[in-house]
Structure 1
């Protein structure tokens, strides 16, 4: 009688252990995930087939079986795609949500890993193997194979993200700190001290003309590598910067770098990302779009002279005056005679007499200062419009002024005006990062924690972009074929 009931169309009774197992066999997560669900599109383009091979050397062949790294990565992608910031809550959501279970390859009876598993793996084998970078680059390669990366134009920008550090738990940057007090330095503090040791070694080898990082005004006792900043306006706080390098064709993130929220380090990260993308993916843009922060003389010279990239970046001008006197652009540069000519026709030179031993006159700021003659300025009728408060006029000319001139010429082209519009694509990604993915404050501490969070967020954003761009096209092709 029981066998007849199971093979017929009659539904078994609602009570009893056998009927419960029957209902579970009839319930499959795949049947309850809508066809247009975001995770279906992401699953179609996300392939973690080589993840186990990449992590093989970091797992033991004996002992209790370990949690599958692909399962943890899939769960983290779910968390970042849907703004689930807590790993404890992520485990609860995956346990309850059929779509999340389906994406993570979990059956109805399969257990969900404990939230502590993520912390242990993140601070251990994940960072030792640089697995998150591996996952990000595998997704980027898929974007490239799907034709979403053009490689013609890149855009660069940075966004400030609050660190997991209380703004009241800090001391002045000039104050000495004994990090060995209490139970000893935390993981974030140990990472900070290791960075200081590396910076001291680099400082000994640094040339005198190279710029050094300004000491921070305040240092957090919780996360000392975070930078004290008030960049967005309002009260200052400790923060890191998420630096995105994106391809302008479809807004795909081609690289990401975490730095303290300090302008110099944000700009320097551009070189790291451009070189890394060229080395690993053979991608080098013809133009690079950025805001004025990337328009320094040294950066423009690097783009033009070293990388042969057109800088679609506003030139950082420091010669404009607010007192209605002549700006530096009002002075004519004469390259053959190595001098400037003022509006009155007088010469500004870097030297007034020849030296026995020739001098470069290059300052620590990589500039050459050109000065007018006090005799010329004293009887000049335009002195009140030129230098009313000083006896002579000075102009500091960058050693990279030729690169600045090329950037100024590019700024007058129609392509530059289009690039200013294209730059909004990277700003949209940052808005999505903070509002949709809820990454306006970090949960992990230290530079490595910021690095992990930004990499996972960029991976999730690329997967979402692929799913939303390519899934409708595939559905249209399937409908046309039918």
Structure 2
């Protein structure tokens, strides 16, 4: 006899969420190993003593972790995604019929906490992974990638002379009434601006000879232009890619288990080699706090320059061959 399924919405349902999440499920095992209860006391000072209850800080940071693991950058999509997954609801300590936090609450909570709090959480999780034997520490690999800013190249504005910006700052009330944003001053030295103008003149000549009229994408610079929507974004380009407003993300990974030992965001108008000394110093400090010693650092040729080689040699390091794509650095306690 042929069967036919008819859906009938239950008004009352006895349902055990933990019974429907398998023991081998990743988020169930992660929940058993990751104890974030210390965040309650760590974040207590950012809340008042009366009023409506906020989202649990532990839930907020678990949502951030899920967003990273599931590659979801939108808070709205993150909440929708979690509401459709039994294992994620169990990981967040929410029942099947319990509404998750509103997506705007997640965004406001992210703005509430300072950067130091996120770093404290990173250090605590790093220490937990060291205790579990997931971090060896002797070999670290560093690389970087541009992260696209939420701003368009078409929205770039020309920076104003410093005197003009000071005049605008003195008239803040007028700007607030017009709902305008203050301009950024030109901070580049005069000789750099002259060199940039000469380069732009050469480009204009090339455009004229080719009959092209699309000059704006080629004739902007971080020295003379800025984004009013995201002033911290910088114009950058990778070989074979279009110029965009980006951030510079550096990441250091322990090669034993592929665990991230350090991550940092910087302005996108700097070279990789400029960030290497501070990255090494920060990674060395975190490893020392956990009783580990970095003996070798792997990096591509973008991190190589004379200054970095000189500092590494001054610290007593050897086998610095520019033909290979790694830099060996033995921890001597000296700042790099």
Query: TM > 0.5 between the two?
Result: yes
2:296 aligned residue: 287
Residue of structure 1 in register with 2:45 after alignment: 57
- 1:297 is aligned, of 303, 306, 322, to 306
User: What secondary structure, in the 3-state scheme, does the structure 2 residue paired with 1:150 have?
Assistant: coil
Alpha-carbon distance, 1:117 to partner: 0.9
The change in CA–CA distance for 1:291 and 1:123 in structure 2 (over 3 A counts) is same
Deviates more, 1:30-39 or 1:77-86: 30-39
Give me the whole-angstrom Cα distance separating, in 1, the residues matched to 2:8 and 2:306. 78
Distance 2:239 2:93 in 1: 41
Do the aligned residues in 1 keep the contact of 2:155 with 2:228 (CA within 8 Å)? yes
Change (3 A) 1:284 1:294: farther
**Pair 1:77–1:249, CA change in 2 (3 A):** same
2:279 counterpart of 1:273: yes
Tell me the distance in 2 between the aligned counterparts of 1:39 and 1:77: 11
Do 1:171 and 1:219's aligned partners in 2 also have CA atoms closer than 8 Å? Answer: yes
Contact 1:94 1:100 in 2 (8 A): yes
1:407 pairs with 2:315: no
SS in 2 for 1:154: strand
* 1:137 paired to 2:50: no
Tell me how far apart the structure 2 counterparts of residues 53 and 73 of structure 1 sit (CA, whole Å): 14
**How many angstroms does 1:294 deviate by?**
1.4
Alignment of 1:175-194 (within 5 A): 181=175, 182-185=178-181
Of residues 286-295 and 272-281 in structure 1, the stretch that sits farther from structure 2 once superposed is 272-281
Task: Deviation per CA, 1:254-303: give whole Å up to 9, x if none.
Answer: 11110122343x43333223222333430442121111121111112223
1:91 and 1:114 map into 2 onto residues whose CA distance is 8
- Which moved further from structure 2: 281-290 or 96-105? 281-290
**Contact 1:227-1:240 at 8 Å conserved across structures:** yes
Select which of 18, 43, 61 maps to 2:31. Answer: 43
Return the offset for 1:252. 1.2
State the 1:119 CA deviation.
2.0
TM-score normalised over the length of structure 2: 0.71
Helix, strand or coil for the counterpart of 1:61?
Answer: coil
Cα pair distance change 1:145/1:58, threshold 3 Å: same
Q: Where does residue 192 of structure 2 map in the other structure?
A: none
TM-score, normalised by the number of residues in structure 1: 0.51
Indicate the residue corresponding to 1:247 in structure 2.
254
- Cα distance in structure 1, aligned partners of 2:54 and 2:310: 51
User: 1:240·1:261 contact (CA, 8 Å) conserved in 2?
Assistant: yes
CA offset digits 1:352-401 (Å, max 9, x no partner): xxxxxxxxxxxxxxxxxxxxxxxxxxxxxxxxxxxxxxxxxxxxxxxxxx
Residue in structure 1 matched with residue 268 of structure 2 by the alignment: 261
What is the rounded CA distance, in whole Å, between the counterparts of 1:49 and 1:119 in structure 2?
21
CA distance in 1, matches of 2:228, 2:254: 38
Structure 1 segments of 4 or more deviating over 6 A? 174-177
Q: Deviations over 1:85-128 (max 9, x none)?
A: 2111222222232211101011123321111112222222x126
2: distance between equivalents of 1:240 and 1:38?
A: 31
The 5 Å alignment of 1:427-438 reads none
Secondary structure at the aligned position of 1:168 is classed as helix
Match of 1:74 in 2: 62
CA distance in 1 between counterparts of 2:157 and 2:181 reads 16
Cα distance in 1 for partners of 2:286, 2:180 equals: 39
- Identify the residue that residue 159 of structure 1 maps to in structure 2: 145
RMSD: 3.3
- Give 1 or 2 for the bigger CA radius of gyration: 1
Please point out which of 86, 91, 108 is paired with 1:98.
Answer: 86
Structure with the greater relative contact order (CA < 8 A, sep ≥ 6): 1 or 2? 1
**1:127 and 2:114 are equivalent in the alignment:** yes
Deviations 1:29-64 (A, max 9, x none): 222223333322332332202111211222222232
2:257 & 2:248 partners in 1: Cα distance?
23
Spell out the pairing of 1:393-472 with structure 2 (5 A cutoff). Answer: 407-408=320-321
Number of residues of Structure 1 aligned to a counterpart in Structure 2:
277
Q: Distance in 2 between matches of 1:144 and 1:274?
A: 19
Structure 1 CA distance for aligned equivalents of residues 33 and 311 of structure 2: 36
Question: Which consecutive unaligned segments of at least 5 residues does structure 2 have?
Answer: 1-6, 190-220, 328-336
Q: CA deviation at 1:173?
A: 5.6
Q: CA deviation at 1:144?
A: 1.1
